[in-house]
Amino acid sequence: MQKQVIVADGVYPPTAEFSQAIRVSGGDLLFVSGIIGMRADGSMPASTVEQVELAFENLARVLVAAGAGLADVVKVNVFVRDDFRLFRDEIREIRARYFTADFPVSTLVQVAGFASPDYRFEIEAIAAVPTGQSPPHCS
């Protein structure tokens, strides 16, 4: 699988750790539903920042279960309920620990609410999995 980050002349540079476009060849696409910051036992942290951290951990686990990793992610959509400006630095710091190079294409949207009033953050992803990668387990 090959990823090529596209940098266009005459377009502003990314304002954070994301790429504006990525071309992918030689791999399978994996589409990951919106992942929230919920623990395996169904409980949730109360704070937005804790939910962000747990959502990224959950995303990493889902990717591994599919035979992929965070480095294979090419697109994320991030949804926050609370005013992003209140948690911008913390969210960027968490994100920078999980996406370290060839940053995925990214969209951030502030929403009025989620399926539960307890949810504060959600991330969905598309990953380009190298051809021939077998997931460790499937159901």
Domain locations in the chain as residue ranges = 2-10+27-130
CATH of domain 2-10+27-130: 3.30.1330.40
**44 is written with which tokens?**
């949730």
**139 is written with which tokens?**
């159901």
Distance CA 75, CA 18 (A): 9
Distance CA 88, CA 44 (A): 21
Would you state the pLDDT for residue 26? Answer: 80
Task: Please give the average per-residue pLDDT across 117-130, as a whole number.
Answer: 93
- Does 91 have pLDDT greater than 50? yes
Q: The whole model's pTM is what?
A: 0.84
- Does 111 have pLDDT greater than 90? yes
